[in-house]
Amino acid sequence: MAATPSVEWAGVMIREDAKRMLALRDRIDVLDRQIARVAEQSTIAARLQSMPGFGVITASEVASEIGNITRFKSEASLAVYLGVAPLDRSSGKRTSAKLPRQVNPRARNALLIATIQHMRQVPESRAFYDRKREQGKSHMQATRALARHLVRVIFTMIENDRDYRINAQKTSEKA
């Protein structure tokens, strides 16, 4: 039984699509290796990679968007830039907040991805998130609160030239 022309035509399209997908996968692998080489040269990216949840890509993205930490007067200004410090818009009986205009969306997205991964790996961070949820916060509000806390940690790590470490005292008390 001979294949119909439409089957032959579809088969050609599928093969072409598969070749393009494989070429894209190869290109992504090349870019991942380039990002890893650049990240090795960044002290901020290295600091961020010491935190659970921050991989090469997210650490590189956040580090490149931060640039030089001296641009920021405080961890609060870094938090605003990274989009995890919403501004209060409450009035009378209405309570609301909005994101400031000067947010860097690329850095914010990378930070939120890393925050979710961090929460999955660090029990203390998961407990923080769970407390926020119990207080009635939405998933996004609780995640943003955790990210805000992580920005404090990140700012301190970069300023003091220290890698991330879990508080040994808390860990030994649980054992």
**Is the domain of 58 the same as that of 17?**
no
**Do 77 and 152 reside in the same domain of the chain?**
yes
pLDDT of 33 reads 87
Separation between Cα atoms, residue 121 and residue 119, nearest integer Å? 5
| Residue 47 confidence (pLDDT) above 60 | yes
Cα separation, 46 vs 49, whole angstroms = 5
**104 CA to centre of own chain:** 12
Q: How many domains does the chain have?
A: 2
Statement to judge: residues 105 and 134 lie in one domain: yes
The pair of structure tokens assigned to 99 is: 């994101």
pLDDT band at 18 (very low <50, low <70, confident <90, very high): very high
Which domain range does residue 16 map to? 1-41
Same domain, 91 and 128: yes
pLDDT digits (tens, 9 = 90+) for 60-86: 888 888 888 888 888 888 898 888 887
Q: State residue 175's pLDDT score.
A: 46
The model's pTM is: 0.73
Instruction: Provide the token pair at 132.
Output: 């926020």
Same domain, 62 and 25: no
d(CA 110, CA 107): 5
Distance (Å, whole) CA 58 – CA 109: 9
Please report which confidence band the pLDDT of residue 165 belongs to, taking 50, 70 and 90 as the band edges: confident
Are 111 and 62 within 8 A, CB to CB? yes
Same-domain status, 88 and 12: no
Question: Is residue 53 a contact partner of residue 116, using CB atoms and an 8 Å limit?
Answer: yes
The number of helices, as runs of H, and strands, as runs of E, in the chain is: 8, 2
pLDDT at 114: 94
pLDDT at 29 over 60: yes
Asked if 16 and 80 sit in the same domain, the reply is no
Residue 167 has pLDDT above 70, yes or no: no
Instruction: Give me the residues paired with residue 97 across strands.
Output: 88
Residues 142 and 88 in one domain: yes
